[in-house]
Structure formats: C-alpha cells, structure tokens
Structure 1
Amino acid sequence: MNTYNQNKLHKRLRRLTGEAIADFNMIEEGDRIMVCLSGGKDSYTLLDILINLKISAPVNFDLIAVNLDQKQPGFPEHVLPEYLNSLGIEYKIVQENTYGIVKDKIPDGKTTCSLCSRLRRGILYRTATELGATKIALGHHRDDILETLFLNMFYGGKLKAMPPKLMNDSGEHIIIRPLAYCKEKDIAKYAEIKQFPIIPCNLCGSQPNLQRQVIKEMLNEWDKKYPGRIETMFRATQNITLSHLCDTNLFDFKEIKKGDLAVNGGDIAFDREDIKPNVGFDRSDLEDQDLILWKEVK
C-alpha cells in the first residue's frame, strides 16, 4: 500500500472512531479511559487511534492501557511492556492464571470462550475500579457487532447485538467500543502497516467450528458476492421500527384500535418500491475531510 492510501486509511479510521465517540457520547471531559489491550490487531489499533485522537480532541481525557496476562504457556510476557514503554503511555499488566482455571474446568474438545470471557471480564472490572477508570474501552468493531447480531438470532432466538456503549450489570462500569463503525478488513490492513507486535491467543484460536467463526465466514462470503450488503445490514441496526417487529414488551400491539392513525407507515412500509436496492454505499468510503472529532462539546 502506497503512502497516499496509508494516510487515507488512517484518516478513515480516525474519522469513523471520532463519529462513534460523538454519536454515543463515549468520552467526556476528565475521563480516565482504561484501554483493554489483548495483543491482537483490534486492541492495538484502538489504542493507537485513541492516542492520536487525544492530541486534538475537544475534551481532556487520560488513557491507561491494561493487559491481562492469563498465564498461557509460551505467552511472550516481554512483548507488551516493551511496546507500551516505547509509546511512553501509562499501563498495567495484570497477572491471573485464568488459563489454568479454564483448562481445569472445561473438558478437552469443548470451547473455552464462555468461561474465559467471564473470568476476564470480572478481572478487568476489578482492575478498572482499582485504577479509578471512568470508562473501559474494548476493541470490538463493526464486524463483531454484526456477528453478534446473527449469533443471537441463529443460536439464541434474540434480536440483540453488541452495543457501542453499555452499562455493566452492577451499574459500576461503562464499556465503550470506539471502533464500532470501523471495518475489520481496514483494521487488519492498518495493523499490518503499523507492524504491531501481534500476540496470538493459543487458548482458543485453534478451536475449530466455533459458532462465531461460522457466522464470520457467512458474512465474508456475502461481502464478496454482494458488495454493500454488510454496510446495509449495519445501518439496519441504527434504523429500528419496533411497531413492525413482534415484541409485545416493546410495542403495545393490544391497544391498536380501528380508526387509529397509522404507526410508522402502517402497511405502506411493505410496498416493494420502498425497499431501496443495495447500491453498495459505505460512508467510510466518502472523501476524507478535515476531522471533526466530537460534533459538539456541551
């Protein structure tokens, strides 16, 4: 990739991250953001973009990178401290033998992701409290959100995805996903250009036939065959009409009476001409403009 395209990719990731931060009010004046760094391409990109945005952001905030060393055999403990020291950023390495717990509790051949995620989440919440972090930033991107949507539909019978901003169950922590508008393939290209010292997850990465991998392959196939479909699906998560779904807890269908005004277009919403063809529009491909990080500082 030439220098022009590299700069364009960097600007696109910056802009989309800034848009997500603004749309969901992810970062506010005085925030102390705990950036969870796994050693993968997504979290490296998240930290890199946030460091870059911090320079010109309209609000003051601090960053602290946190890595959870799960004591996986062969884990290169020196890689992240060396990288973070080279950045001159505040960081903390938390050491917990979650690998040993997972291997002890989960039989061979069974997926470890669920237990590993719960253990990791609890440790990160505790660490955020100890560090006085006001927000916890995770490196999930647009593709992760769509994969979670289809996972919940296909395997859980729920219309639910992964929100860009979330309060945890205890109400003590706000989780943010600043890369929510960014494509995984853009992040992969960026990580390659920046030559981040990637650390693979040997605990779960070699497990075959995971449900998420099946969904990922399906979406990748759609993206190849039908350019623009992924963008359209993601826009659908931002354009929800409750009156045209089936959840009686979210919309009062019982109170619809003859003579009432049509709600959200009524039956007109089903006319074929109202369903616009997929033209492959993707706002991340717009011409790069001067970045406006937060749309308005209140």
Structure 2
Amino acid sequence: MTAALAPVQPADTATAGRHSNTFLRLKKKLERSVGEAIADYNMIGDGDTVLVCVSGGKDSYTLLSCLLALRERAPVDFRIVAMNLDQKQPGFPDHVLPAYFESIGVEYRIVTEDTYSIVKDKIPEGKTTCSLCSRLRRGIIYRTATEVGATRIALGHHRDDILETLFLNMFFGGKIKAMPPKLVSDDGRHVVIRPLAYCAENDIARFARAMEYPIIPCNLCGSQENAQRRQIKAMLQGWARDYPGRIESLATSLKNVVPSHLADARLFDFAGLTRQTQVEEGDTAFDPPELPRMGGETVRFFGISSGED
C-alpha cells in the first residue's frame, strides 16, 4: 500500500511550543548533528529521493523526524518516502505506522513479506537471528528503493551502533571495521546513508520518550540476551558512565585513521619503507603518545596526568 500526501508541517515541529526548553535544545542538537553528517559525507543532494526505513523503533522515528525538519530549511530540494517492512511477526500492530505516517503527512510505503517464518524455520531456537533477518530485509529494501525511484536509502544506525560494530569486528572478526556513514551496495545500484552517525543513542532515547512515539518492539530478536552485540553495548555503556568523554573520543578516532601506525600492508607500504619515507605522525617508537586534554593541556600515557612536564 502506498499513500502519497501533500507535504505538511511535521507533527513534532507543529507542537514544539508545548515542549520544554530542554527538549527544544535536544531537538536542535540532534538536527544539527544530522545536518553535519549529511554535509560531511554529501549524503543528500538536490533532487534526491530518500527512502527512510522506519521499523517502529526509537532510532528510525527520530531519523524520519530530523530529515523532515531539515528538509523544511535545507538549501536543496529532496523527496522523502518512509518505508516499513511488515515481517509478519506474531502480534505485529500493522495499523500503527500507517496511522503515524498519515498523521505527519509523509509519503510512505508499507511492504509485507513473511520473513519471520523463514528466520524461525532456518535458525535453531536460542541462536542469534540477526544475520539472516538482516540479509532478508536488505534485499526487500533494495527492491523497494528501485520501485519508488529512491536515490538514497536512509538507515537509523547511530553513533553507538557504529562503535559497537567496530568492537564486534575487532573482538570477534579480527578486523578494524565499523559501519560507514555512506556506502554503495554490492551490486552498485544503491547508495545507503546513516544520517544519525553523529548522534548518541542516549539523546535519541530521550527525544523519543518526549515525542511519545508509538514504539513497536521487535519480538523476533529484541530479547536475545546472548547476542554478542549486547555484551559490547554493556561495555561501552560502562565506559560512558565511568570515563566521561571516552565514547566521544572513540567516535572521533574513526575520522582520524593513521595507516602508517597500524599494520595493514595493503594501506601502507611497509615493505618499501626507507629512511626517506615520509609518514604522517612521525617517529613514536620510544615516546609515550600524547593524548589531547581539555583546556589545551595534554596527558601522557605513562602516569603523568597533570599535563605538565
């Protein structure tokens, strides 16, 4: 089913006056972060059609809200089509998202495919279903993007998802690999973007609670306590609680990669290294690295914490 409606002011914008200044600051922060990510990675251009995947969770609702708000004042014109995949999970409230999309006046597409039965049939009880479920969803999303003429597919992964993926790949896959803010599908036909790449999950959760979105839980995999991602999430949440600023530093590190100081010979010519080779960070063979510190000070790795020599 498809419903194309005339663009109207998004519901959260129209009712912003009923929210506190704290909420308005949070809304502005999220929209600014989304705008920065879009600009940094050239995610959306004039004339693009953006298929926004909305699962019914806090992240995708927030993504749709931010994109609708930014479209109102963006210097480029782009079309937004919200999409939900009804995977026929038992008890799925299939009326919720169509009603929500119509209430905010956004063009939308509801796609119904019984991937739930496929996953339950193929994956043994107690095993993680995420991988197969994700592959099935991906194919349906790509097909739908082609049908609606989408030039961009927007997913609701945020900063914490990206960092969790980084550590999952390091701990369990032996790779330094995360989720890129922008990528091209394997077949070269689709561009996938993650406009929430700079947004913290905690901010998104606060925003979603204030907006009172009609959240739809995932009954297929949402309660899998043995999932490795949950272990990584708990680790990162502990760091955020005990070491303020660590998560922000980790996120910044993804934009500051120094291949000459890793060990991948495909990224840096270690075999051809000579005394004349120029490297980006210089010689740190015997020196403890200096880490940035607030106030322009630095902190050395080996026990000096005051920033003084």
SS at match of 1:82: helix
C-alpha separation in 2, matches of 1:269 and 1:41: 46
| Cα deviations by residue, 1:185-221 (Å, 9 ceiling, x for unpaired) | 0000000011100000000011112100000000000
Percentage identity across aligned positions?
Answer: 62
Q: Secondary structure at the match of 1:255?
A: coil
Q: 1:181 aligns with which of 182, 193, 198?
A: 198
Q: Distance in 2 between matches of 1:221 and 1:42?
A: 21
Of structures 1 and 2, the one scoring higher in RCO (CA 8 A, sep 6+) is: 1
One-letter amino acid of the structure 1 residue matched with residue 143 of structure 2:
R
- Helix, strand or coil at the partner of 1:235: helix
Q: Deviations over 1:88-119 (max 9, x none)?
A: 11101000000010011111111111100000
What are the residue-to-residue correspondences of 1:123-272 with 2, within 5 Å? 123-257=140-274, 259-268=275-284, 271-272=287-288
Find the aligned partners of 2:42 and 2:289 in 1 and give their Cα distance: 36
For the aligned residues, what is the CA RMSD?
1.5
- Flag the 1:224–1:22 CA change in 2: closer, same or farther, 3 A: same
| Corresponding residue for residue 23 of structure 2 | 6
State the TM-score, normalized to the length of structure 1.
0.91
Task: Answer whether contact 1:39 1:198 (CA < 8 A) is retained.
Answer: yes
Q: Which moved more, 1:267-276 or 1:51-60?
A: 267-276
C-alpha displacement of 1:278: 7.0
Report if the CA contact (8 A) 2:258-2:281 is conserved: no
| Aligned residue identity for 2:175 | K
Partner of 1:74, secondary structure, is coil
The verdict on how the C-alpha distance between 1:124 and 1:269 changes in structure 2, with shifts beyond 3 A counting, is farther
Q: Which moves more between the two structures, 248-257 or 148-157?
A: 248-257
Report the Cα distance in structure 2 between the residues aligned to 1:278 and 1:156, rounded to whole angstroms: 34
Question: What aligned pairs does 1:284-295 form with structure 2 within 5 A after superposition?
Answer: none
- Could you tell me which residue of structure 2 aligns to residue 15 of structure 1? 32
Query: Which TM-score applies when normalising by structure 2?
Result: 0.87
Q: Specify which of 86, 92, 100 is matched with residue 103 of structure 2.
A: 86
* Cα distance in 1, alignment partners of residues 285 and 256 from structure 2: 13
Residue 292 of structure 2 is aligned with which of 261, 276, 287? 276
Question: Which residue number in structure 1 is paired with residue 6 of structure 2?
Answer: none
Amino acid at match of 1:159: I
Distance 1:255 1:147, change over 3 A: same
Unaligned segments of structure 2, at least 5 residues: 1-17, 296-309
Shift in Å, 1:273: 5.7
Partner of 1:98: 115
Note if contact 1:72-1:202 (Cα within 8 Å) is conserved in structure 2: yes
Q: Unpaired segments of 5 or more residues in structure 1?
A: 280-298
